[in-house]
Amino acid sequence: MRRTALLFVTLGLLIGSRVSATTLTVPGDFATIQGAIVAAVDGDVIVVSSGTYAENINFLGKAITVQSVSGPSTTIVDAGGSGSVVTFQAGEMSDTVLSGFTITNGQAADGGGILCTGTGSPTILDCRVVANIAGDDGGGIYSIGGSPTIAGCEISDNTCGDDGGGLLCSGGAPMIVDCLFSDNAAMGSPTPNGGGIHTRDGSSPLITRCVIRGNFAEEGAGGIRCFNSDATITDCLIIGNSSGTNGGGVRAYDSSPILTNCTIHGNSAITSAGGLESESSSSTVLVNSIVWGNGAPTSPQLLAGGAGSLSVTYSDVAGGWPGVGNLDLDPEFVDAIGPDGSPATGDENFRLTASSPCVDAGSNVAPALPALDFEGDERVVDGDADGVAVVDMGADEVAGGFLRGDVNSDGVLDVSDAVFGLAALFIPGSSAPTCDDASDANDDGLFDISDAVYTLAALFIPGSSPTPAPGGQTCGPDPTADGLDCAGPTTCP
């Protein structure tokens, strides 16, 4: 919900600045999206109704917004296996916006789904880039030389014959935020790399709050490959990826990536470095991260190969790793496998339990320290309620102390909390709680009407059960492993 709100704010700012914009509709004013683009001028907004549009679209260098009415689940652009579905190749900048589409069935040499060449730096929001093919690079998205912003997107089930099954970045400084890269594959050439993401040729992308899950590369780096690239990777879950040689999760070659507050789990490699490899002349920095449960015949978690260096600090690494602040302790994820019992299927819960040794165990002065965690919750908070706020290890930040039942976060448990909770649940437009954990008055892992009933009974019916811990007049962390968290600060008595 917080991510979706951020996307709409971003889109609103981009559109709101165009005071003289003309709105063109598809299929109202034009039968095709491309027809509307041809007719549009800078500043125009093209609004597309639900449906499947069998076409390829090219933005022609125009500073326009193309947005769907109902989002990607019902608004599909299908290239029919002929060429890139969407093309940006005439210097488009951030005021060129594509929002709310499924981009599918493209097939091209590069960029089966989206081709972004030259200095193109468009904004791509809330899109699904799925089931596209590139004979060479960038099965889902190919970006060369530009710095696009890609936010809130799903890039899944794409394939390439060489590098970057999901995304290929060559040069530029793309910003990739709140995206899912899943089940993409790099396979076919003698050395296909980067099943999920491949960054190369001096690129310096920012990859933050992303999930890179279940991708595969026949050669190296099932998840992310950095080749002569200085990527900054923060708040990412890199889970369940696999490689035909080394670096199941991440592989750096002649690169200087920084990975801060990432969780690297359940990745595998046929040869070595199931989690991460830093090879050749790479200088890789890993800080405030968790590397656990990865597999390979040798060096299952981490490997500094050849002349590569790997600096690891304030991180939890299975089997241990030398460095200041490092741990070798079970990180105590809520549920790293998920209810279906199979890893990397999307039902896992990589939040930390309140008792995790990774809570408040990171460094507050780490490079590229993020202000939010992978869910958009606030960092840095006092997760262990000892009075000192220290960042956690891994992609999740455990919420600070809260008072059970204090739905409105005013530091007092009273009837106003039940009223606030009922309004949030049933009255449209009402304020939402900032701490779902506190709102779960009966500690059953849900925020629902039963919490208000429980609170009222605890307050007014003698003999009723008191609110579970942390209750009474004492704040504390949640002792129960569940799917709830706090998005913002709470007030303690």
Residue spans of the domains in the chain: they are 2-235, 277-397, 399-493
Residue 137: CA count within 13 A, CB half-sphere: 16
Average pLDDT over residues 95-109: 99
123: pLDDT strictly greater than 50: yes
Return mean pLDDT, the chain: 92
Between 110 and 479, name the one with better pLDDT.
Answer: 110
The separation between the first and the last C-alpha atoms of the chain, rounded to the nearest angstrom, is 29
User: Would the pLDDT of 11 be above 90?
Assistant: no
Task: Give the whole-angstrom CA distance, residue 37 versus residue 30.
Answer: 9
* Best CA proximity match to 220, nearest among 242, 205, 240, 238: 242
Tell me which residue of 347, 327, 329, 328 sits closest to 337, measured CA to CA: 347
Q: Is the pLDDT higher at 377 or at 390?
A: 390
Per-residue confidence (pLDDT) for residue 57, from 0 to 100: 98
Q: Is the confidence at residue 195, as pLDDT, over 60?
A: yes
Long-range CB pairs of 442-449 (<8 Å, 24+ gap) are: 442/467, 442/468, 443/404, 443/467, 443/468, 443/480, 445/480, 445/482, 445/483, 445/484, 447/421, 447/484, 449/422, 449/425
Pick the CATH number of 399-493 from 3.90.79.10, 3.40.50.150, 1.10.1330.10, 1.10.3720.10: 1.10.1330.10
Instruction: Give the pair of three-digit tokens for residue 454.
Output: 């429980």
Asked whether residue 9 carries a pLDDT value surpassing 70, the answer given is no
Q: What is the pLDDT of residue 263?
A: 99
Q: How far is CA 150 from each of CA 50, 180, 232, 445, rounded to the nearest angstrom?
A: 22, 11, 15, 33
Question: Is residue 337 exposed (0-12), middle (13-18) or buried (19+ Cβ within 10 Å)?
Answer: middle
* pTM of the shown model: 0.88
pLDDT in tens, 309-337: 999 999 999 999 999 999 999 999 999 99
How far apart CA 67 and CA 103 sit, in angstroms, is 13
| 352-379: average pLDDT | 95
Residue of higher predicted confidence among 404 and 54: 54
Residue of higher predicted confidence among 344 and 98: 98
Q: What percent of the chain has pLDDT over 90?
A: 76
Cβ neighbours of 161 (radius 10 Å): 17
CB atoms within 10 A of CB 78: 17
Q: How far is the CA of 371 from the CAs of 114, 210, 229, 287, 391, in angstroms?
A: 30, 15, 24, 15, 10
Which pLDDT score is estimated for 4? Answer: 46
